[in-house]
Each structure stands twice: as C-alpha cells, then as structure tokens.
Amino acid sequence: MNASVWQSGPLRADLALVAAQIPDASRVLDLGCGSATLLSYLMAERGCSGTGVEIDPDKVLKAIRRGVPIIELDVDRSLSEFSDASYDVCVLSRTIQTIQRPEHVLEEMARIAGLLIVSVPNFGWWGHRLRLLRGRMPMSKELPYSWYDTPNIRHTTLVDLETLFDKLGLTVVKRFTFTEDGRRLRMQGARANLTAGAAVYVLRPGGRPRTS
C-alpha cells in the first residue's frame, strides 16, 4: 500500500487561511470536518492535536484512514459530548449554513474553545441579489444547489451573521473576505457584504452578550 496517498497534500486555499489562524500545538475541534484534511495537516505539520466531527460516512472513513480522531455525530446534537474549555480552537468551516441550530452551535463552540474560526458563504453577494431580483433563488459556485436539493438550509449574509455574533458576545478578531472565485478581497466594513462570495471569521468568546 502506498502510504503517500493518505498523507495531506497542499491545503485548499480557504483551509490554508484557516490553518494560518491556528497557533502551533493547539488542540483543535473541527466541526463538519469532512475527510479531515485540515486536522490531518495541522497534526502532521503544526504539532496540533484534535478531533473532527462529521456525519458523512464516506468522509468519516477517509478521516479514520488518515489517522485523525473523528466522532461520527450530528453537529447539531453532539456538542454536549465535549466539556467546557477542552479545546484551544474550534473550527466551523463552511458548515454553519447546513446546521439546524446555528445559534446553539455557536454558543457551544464558545463554551468549548477560546478561539473560534467560522467560514461561511455569503448569501448577500451581489450575484445572489441579482438572481433574486430576477425572481430566481440564488445559485453560484459557493452555493451550487437548487433550492429543493440543497444541504444549505440556513442562508445568511455577512451583516446578519455579524449581528448574531454580536448577540452572542462573540468578538470578531479578524475577518477575511473572498471573491466568488476564492480570491482574497482586501475589503473591510459593510461593503464586503455586497462584494464577498465568502468570508472567514476569527472570533473570541467572552464579550458581553447583547441582551434583547
């Protein structure tokens, strides 16, 4: 058996950016980790340890073969398994749009880890708005599904998401935005909500939750 096929190659650009936010030797919980390419890289190259959570059986099997500890459970219902402050970093990479209870999951992430990394597709991107103006539901490279077969059930714009972060007392330490093609946008402020196809947030819990 050729072992090299199981080892991590170069990371996808967005994962590389996520990886760059994670300090060496961190303990990382990756929710919706897929076949665990990020964790595999972090463990092999950066001295990290950690656990993945994934529900897709084929991806779970690949993660096991890669030697990444992985828990096959639904992110929506499994986070009570993890104890308070048991991880340094908790990653939710392109997963928030697929889960039933994003608010609950973000709260749980803040309980489990001191640094959160959340990457999302932006429903507010101008191309989506254009499609909606023409009377059609948004579809794009980031969101390539028809409304009836999409795993993405919680669409959010960056502005709406930041409102939720604020409500939960999550402080945005950094925000990276990307074009629909995945190129980095050097854009701050609310205009990114129009121009960005996706974003990566680095968050710290412990800010005061906004009482409503």
Q: Which of 17, 44, 71, 139 binds another protein (CB under 8 A)?
A: 71
* Sole window of 65-73, 114-122, 152-160, 201-209 interacting with another protein (rule: CB under 8 A): 65-73
Instruction: Pull the structure tokens for residue 106.
Output: 């973000």
CB 23 to another protein: min, Å: 17
Region near another protein per CB under 8 A, out of 17-25, 60-68, 91-99, 126-134: 60-68
Footprint of another protein on residues 1-30 (CB under 8 A)?
1, 3, 6, 27
> Contact, 72 vs 54, CB < 8 A?
yes
* Per-residue buried b or exposed e for 74-89, using 16+ beta carbons within 10 Å of the residue's own CB: ebbebbeebeeeebbb
Q: How far is the CB of 30 from another protein (least distance, A)?
A: 14
Does 51 bind another protein (CB under 8 A)? Our answer is yes
Strand duo 171-178 + 198-204: pairing: antiparallel
CA 161 to CA 106: how far, in whole Å? 11
Helical axes 13-20 vs 37-45, angle rounded to 10°: 50
Smallest distance from the beta carbon of 183 to another protein, in angstroms?
36
Site residues (CB under 8 A) for another protein, limited to 136-165:
none
Cβ at position 49, least distance to another protein in Å:
7
Q: How far is the CB of 36 from another protein (least distance, A)?
A: 10
> Distance between CA atoms of 70 and 179, rounded to whole angstroms?
31
65 lies in the binding site for another protein (CB under 8 A): yes
- Cα dihedral across residues 19, 94, 37, 26: positive or negative: positive
